[in-house]
């Protein structure tokens, strides 16, 4: 149990290469452990932890609000993506060769009824109409457009003022009717921006993005539990991004399986204030270890 727990933590918390993990066992415990053995111990942690991975997925499927984002990763030198699905108490990662709407459909289930907080990637509206587009993204894009084209400055200023005004207004305990009216007023403000005549270039592209997400910028006004930004998912991707720089490419399906499983367990345990070392020992001791033939990076259908 200790070898499995320490190998998994050394790889995914301390970010050590498997060869260094073997060296560490010899230095600290006088135990000879090859790099290959360290890998197998880490894989065993993932195989034992997969049932908890599925439990995390089930909890996320039932959530009212889920933050979703994705970033690139290499699988045997080929392009793949690591997706994150995160709530207040749970985070799940999924490594897939697809960046399409089939991934949220697979992970969240076709019948997912919650709100997705996301950026402007086309996979999200293709999966669900219940979205909150990220204001942090659009404000950054507006600032960038303003730096490149003079016509963008008043648009960026107006967007920023609207966002700050909405945040301030929502600090009050508004009734449902007041929220609905605020939503209508804010939508008119966005529509007035869209109607501005600007030459082709970055600002026209920006206005097109605002128009394309018009039904999804203001969800947070009517749904108090929804955040106007996707910072939670962006923060959840930081650790995989750091590991991507260290690890480089994932070698095969088993590597993808281990990666998504152990990252999900560690992130969720940290959110819940649990001790990862004790949790890995518990998982290795109490959970059924699935076979290697089952250790593939595919989340089972929710149906």
Q: Which pLDDT score, from 0 to 100, does residue 300 have?
A: 41
Q: Which pLDDT score, from 0 to 100, does residue 291 have?
A: 80
Q: Which pLDDT score, from 0 to 100, does residue 299 have?
A: 43
* pLDDT tens by residue, the chain, 303 residues: 889 999 999 999 999 999 899 888 888 878 888 989 999 999 999 999 999 999 999 999 999 999 999 999 998 889 999 999 999 999 999 999 999 999 999 999 999 999 999 999 999 999 999 999 999 999 999 999 999 999 999 999 999 999 999 999 999 999 999 999 999 999 999 999 999 988 999 999 999 999 999 999 999 999 999 999 999 999 999 999 999 998 888 888 899 999 999 999 999 999 999 999 999 999 999 988 888 777 765 544 333
Q: Which pLDDT score, from 0 to 100, does residue 298 have?
A: 54
This prediction has a pTM of: 0.93
Q: Which residues pair with 67 in a beta bridge?
A: 86, 117
């Amino acid at each position: 149990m200790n070898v499995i727990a320490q190998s998994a933590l050394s790889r995914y918390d301390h970010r050590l290469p498997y060869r260094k993990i073997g060296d560490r066992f010899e230095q600290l415990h006088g135990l000879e452990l090859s790099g290959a053995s360290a890998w197998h111990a880490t894989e065993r942690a993932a195989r034992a932890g997969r049932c908890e991975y599925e439990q995390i997925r089930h909890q996320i499927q039932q959530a009212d609000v889920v933050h979703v984002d994705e970033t690139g990763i290499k699988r045997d030198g080929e392009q793949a993506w690591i997706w994150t699905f995160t709530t207040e108490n749970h985070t799940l990662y999924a490594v897939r060769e697809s960046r399409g709407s089939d991934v949220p459909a697979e992970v969240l289930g076709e019948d997912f009824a919650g709100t997705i907080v996301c950026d402007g990637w086309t996979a999200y509206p293709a999966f669900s109409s219940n979205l909150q587009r990220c204001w942090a993204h659009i404000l950054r894009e507006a600032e960038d457009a303003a730096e490149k084209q003079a016509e963008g400055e008043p648009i960026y200023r107006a967007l920023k003022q609207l966002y700050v005004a909405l945040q301030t207004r929502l600090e009050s305990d508004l009734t449902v009717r007041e929220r609905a009216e605020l939503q209508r007023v804010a939508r008119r403000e966005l529509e007035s921006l869209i109607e501005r005549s600007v030459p082709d270039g970055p600002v026209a592209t920006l206005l097109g993005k605002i128009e394309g997400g018009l039904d999804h910028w203001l969800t947070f006004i009517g749904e108090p539990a929804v955040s106007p930004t996707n910072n939670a998912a962006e923060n959840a991707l930081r650790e995989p991004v750091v590991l991507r720089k260290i690890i480089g490419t994932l070698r095969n399906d088993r590597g993808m399986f281990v990666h998504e499983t152990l990252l999900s367990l560690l992130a969720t345990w940290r959110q819940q204030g649990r001790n990862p070392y004790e949790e890995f020992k518990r998982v290795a001791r109490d959970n059924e270890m699935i076979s290697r033939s089952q250790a593939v990076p595919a989340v089972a259908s929710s149906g």
